Amino acid sequence: MSDENSTVRARAERLLQERLHAIGGLEEAVAAVETARAALATAEENLGDAVTTATRAGWTAAELAQLGIPVAGQARRTKPAATKRTRRSGTGGSTSSAAAGPVGDASGA
C-alpha cells in the first residue's frame, strides 16, 4: 500500500505543479495592470491640470474640443447616461420578483 500511496502522491504533485505553472504569469500581469492604471490616473490628472491652465488663460472647453483636446466633463456626461439607461432596463427584474410571490404563496398553502 505504501507504493500505491506514493504513486498517488506523485501524480497529485505533478498535477499541482502543472496548475502552479499555469498561474505563474498572473502575478506579473496583475502588477503590470496596476502600474498601468496608476500611470493612467497620473496622466489624467496632468491633463486636467493642463486643461485648467488653458481655460484660465482664456481657452474655452469648446475651443479645446475643436483642437482635439479631450475635455473631461464632456466625455464623462455621455457614459453615465448610457449606464442609467441600462439600469432602467434592469428594473424589469421586479417583474420576476412578483413571480416569486406566487411561489411563496404556493409553499405556504
pLDDT, tens digit, 9 for 90 and up, residues 21-59: 889 899 999 999 999 999 999 999 999 999 999 999 999
Query: What φ, ψ does residue 57 adopt, rounded to 5°?
Result: -85, 0
Is 38 inside any structural domain? yes
Is 78 inside any structural domain? yes
Question: Which residues constitute the domain of residue 59?
Answer: 2-103
Is 88 inside any structural domain? yes
Q: Domain count of the chain? A: 1
Is 108 inside any structural domain? no
Is 19 inside any structural domain? yes
For residues 55 and 67, give the distance between their C-alpha atoms in angstroms, rounded to a whole number. 13
Instruction: Give the pLDDT mean for 94-102.
Output: 43
Is 10 inside any structural domain? yes
Kindly report, residue by residue over 50-85, the tens digit of the pLDDT: 999 999 999 999 999 999 998 865 444 334 455 454
Is 109 inside any structural domain? no
pTM for the full predicted model: 0.50
